[in-house]
Structure 1
């Protein structure tokens, strides 16, 4: 079947390495991009997605950043939902006394209190650079600007993440989407948005979810894969993701998305 829109997650899905899209993926997407809209859907910040858009030659398409909290078309904001500073202050208080740093993201701005192995990995893999600034100063500045966080990356030790995750869920779970991406990392986003909600916001009147094929690998992709016309998991995806998908392609490191496109979508 021909799809009007192809939506793909990046890390662990479309990207065959930690930071780059393969030549094969570029070649396969080039074959379908004139007839199929290619929309990148990620937890990344805009600068961590723009270079991939450029490599794929799809800069005229919108990008869905921060798991749906920010949708951009070029430099134009199409939708923007952020966590207000009063909630950010509550999260900061809950981290007091624990080994946990707040990585704070707004649009294409990224603030961290200090460097760390996690921060250096993010710089390397997303090709983006943070501002090193004390969290209290960042929150004070954001309050004056009347802005908040499109995403929080809570960088912890395993012990501090074990302590914080249930506390955050109990205290702030009504307002926040909390996602533990590994033993030491908690990603936080506004409750009202998701990858699926952002996709729906971009759809035109003559487009339905059945017109969309989507690719993903992780928990934050489940809603998207379950509700579009055809959901494809890469072989390295979480078992829960594979269980709800219509099809399982090769692992991301074996160019699973490009392989599926070549086998099923290229005419």
Structure 2
């Protein structure tokens, strides 16, 4: 297999634990990084990806953050797409009605109203610490800067998420990607961007999506995996993801991405 670019999702894909990659993965990335660009593609904020870039020895390569809403290379923003302040305020009013908490992300800033089991998991998994303040305060502060959100995380119970999901589809579908990562979490990103569109923005002259091999596990990876030259799912991926790829490798805890690289690249 001869590809110019390798793109990989992080959580549930490249990471063999909740917040790190295996030594085997580091070794395989070091073996190939001089002949293909390795680009990390994630829903994470920049600082929760940069430490992994450094561990893999690819810190000079771009990173695709927030499912494509923010693309950074060598500390510089290549592209930047936010949900508007008015849109975020409108969503907050709906969430408040259903007693759903919001985590707001912009650049390297993560704001939540209070700690919880979910927030503590996120702190551990991403090695990031949030700002604890009222969502109203955050939104007012961002409005004065005319800034919106790169990502919103909705946190509630299954019943509240079941109730708000059809409302999101009905009222916000044209402006937002709403992706339910599990029964109690919904991730929201700007509609105009995706992991695939961000990859396209990083193609150099003479390169096409056919030059890209990509790895993923979840619904927000499907568009990327279907449209690049070769899509690979880890064994722990959603069934819908495994159905659309060319190959399924070992699960993430078994360093499936690294094993595929060793066997085929």
In which range does the TM-score fall when normalised by the shorter chain?
Answer: over 0.9
Query: Could you tell me which residue of structure 2 aligns to residue 250 of structure 1?
Result: 250
Matched, 1:144 2:155: no
Deviation digits for residues 12-44 of structure 1, max 9, x if unmatched? 000011110000000001000011100000000
In the superposition, the TM-score normalised over structure 2's length comes to 0.99
TM-score scaled to structure 1, two decimals?
0.98
Corresponding residue number in structure 1 for 2:98: 98
Report 1:1-267 matches (<5 A): 1-265=1-265
Find the aligned partners of 1:97 and 1:228 in 2 and give their Cα distance. 41
Residues 52-89 of structure 1: CA deviation (Å, up to 9, x unaligned):
00100100000000000000012211000000010011
Give the Cα separation in 2 of the matches to 1:14 and 1:22: 9
* TM-superposed deviation, 1:206: 1.5
Measure, in 1, the Cα distance between the counterparts of 2:264 and 2:197: 27
Partner of 1:96, secondary structure, is: helix
Structure 2 residues without counterparts, runs of 5 or longer: none
Q: Report the 3-state secondary structure (helix = DSSP H, G, I; strand = E; otherwise coil) of the residue aligned with 1:261.
A: helix
Deviation digits for residues 109-150 of structure 1 (CA, Å, limit 9, x no counterpart): 100011010000000000001100100000001010011000
Distance 2:117 2:99 in 1: 14
Q: Is the 8 A contact 1:70 1:80 kept in 2?
A: yes
Secondary structure of the 1:95 match is helix
Where in structure 1 do 4 or more consecutive aligned residues deviate above 3 Å? none
- 1:135-175: CA deviation from partner (whole Å, max 9, x where unpaired): 00000010100110000001111111111111111111111
How far apart are the structure 2 equivalents of 1:190 and 1:11?
A: 20
1:215 Cα deviation from its structure 2 partner: 0.2
Distance in 2 separating the partners of 1:60 and 1:103: 29
Contact 1:99/1:157 (CA < 8 Å) preserved in 2? no
| Residue segments in structure 1 that go unaligned for 5+ positions in a row | none
Superposed CA RMSD in Å reads 0.6
User: Between Structure 1 and Structure 2, how many residues are aligned?
Assistant: 265
Contact 1:64–1:198 (8 Å) recurs in 2: yes
Which whole-Å CA distance do the structure 1 matches of 2:183 and 2:65 have between them? 23
